[in-house]
A = this chain, B = another copy of it.
Amino acid sequence: MKKLISVILFLCSVSTANGYADELLTQKCTFTLPEFTTFGGKSISDVKVGWESYGTLNKDKSNVILVTHFFSGTSHAAGKYRTTDSSSGYWDSIIGPEKAIDTDKFFVVSVDTLVNLHPYSPNVITTGPATINPKTGKPYGLSFPVVTIRDFVNVQKALLESLGIKKLYAVIGASMGSMQAAEWASVYPDWVPRMISVIGTTQSNAWTTAALESWAIPIRLDPNWHKGNYYGLEKQPVDGLKASLMLISMQARHPKGVIAMGDKLGYQPVEPEPLEHITQSHSIVNEFAEMAAKRATYADANHLLYLVRASQLFITGHGDSLESGLQKIQAKTLFISAQTDLLLYPALAESAHSYLRDKGHNSAYKELTGPLGHLEGVLDIQEQAAAIEAFLAD
């Protein structure tokens, strides 16, 4: 059974590799693990995750770059599924032929995490509380075990091993993806000679954990959440989910970017509608609400809670101290922060970089300069394309 899966996967990756034309095209593949044991010691059967690749795996399988995705992201890191797609994967500006992560040289792999935020997307394959528990025939709901960044990494490793890969060329991830990258470098140092952390952190501190909690709060208040048992019911916890996504959108930005949004909308402190009645809102609030409603389309409320928890539980190496986790890293490292990031603020990455450098590691630190806050690491990553390309060159 396990061997058969590997064969299917290999075919999938070959097919992907052959799909390139002038435009980078990709497809979603599925990886299945019949049994998986979490970091917390719980078992999950029939784990499925989606994955994509860009570029061609070389003969000695030495050109693999793993891209780990952010909280609300998916494995669609670059390219299109069809030439008619309206948009490309989120890091298309740096992944592709002759780009910073050059798919003419590298075989780039990205994997949907467990408990991915968007289980209802046609382009996401994930396992989480919205998944049918094979033992009961019903969705797991909150009986799904708590999963961690380590678990995301372990599923990725099993996938890579199924492709016959035994070592990465590099791992790179933004935000929650940076957590996975750091975990990879610490727990599987033999696999990771190069690690790039973008808008990242090497642990959740007390403040990060509290800030993350604010994303969970609206969902638990929604009367349609029903303590997680809403699957199959007529009313879904959409209001709580939208409110949560609205908080995430707001916290991922910086005043500079939001003020620019407001200027485009014609925002004024004294607008007639919110002055007229308490149930009406300012233009900038309506704009965030509309964005959140769109983002909620394929998202699941319980999955969001599990992503919050995985992020809260993160410390590199999942041990008692950050130092013990960082000390295991052998990789050359590059940390890229965003100056306007108020969520995973620059000092978090800078302190990890300084620690490693002071211990004699080869570590570099760069900053994105734009006004988009945490989103800089996703939307403006091309500003550091040259640094990424140079880092990968040797």
Partner-B contacts on A (CB < 8 A): 39-40, 142, 144, 146, 148, 203-211, 213-214, 217-218, 221-223, 228, 239-240, 243, 246-247, 250, 253-255, 258-259, 261-263, 265, 267-271, 274-279, 281-282, 284-285, 288, 305-306, 309, 312-315, 318-320, 342, 345
State in angstroms the CA–CA spacing of A255 and B209 once bound together: 10
Are A206 and B267 in contact, CB atoms less than 8 angstroms apart? yes
Name the CB-closest residue of B to A239. B221
* B residues less than 8 Å from A276 (CB atoms): 40, 146
Are A146 and B274 in contact, CB atoms less than 8 angstroms apart? yes
Identify 16 new A-B residue pairs, CB closer than 8 A, beyond the known A206-B263, A209-B267: A39-B275, A142-B277, A146-B274, A146-B277, A146-B278, A206-B259, A207-B259, A209-B284, A213-B285, A217-B247, A218-B218, A218-B243, A269-B314, A270-B315, A270-B320, A278-B306
Residue of B203, B261, B284 near A269 (CB, 8 A) is B203
A206 in contact with B314 given A213-B281, A275-B40 (CB within 8 Å): no
State in angstroms the CA–CA spacing of A221 and B214 once bound together: 14
* B residues less than 8 Å from A313 (CB atoms): 269-271, 274-275
* B residues less than 8 Å from A214 (CB atoms): 214, 246-247, 250
Are B312 and A206 in contact, CB atoms less than 8 angstroms apart? no
Q: For residue A228, give the distance in angstroms from its CB to the closest CB of chain B.
A: 8
State in angstroms the CA–CA spacing of A277 and B320 once bound together: 20
Are A258 and B207 in contact, CB atoms less than 8 angstroms apart? yes
A255 in contact with B205 given A305-B278, A312-B269 (CB within 8 Å): yes
Are A258 and B40 in contact, CB atoms less than 8 angstroms apart? no
* B residues less than 8 Å from A204 (CB atoms): 269
* B residues less than 8 Å from A250 (CB atoms): 210-211, 213-214
A345 in contact with B239 given A213-B288, A269-B314 (CB within 8 Å): no
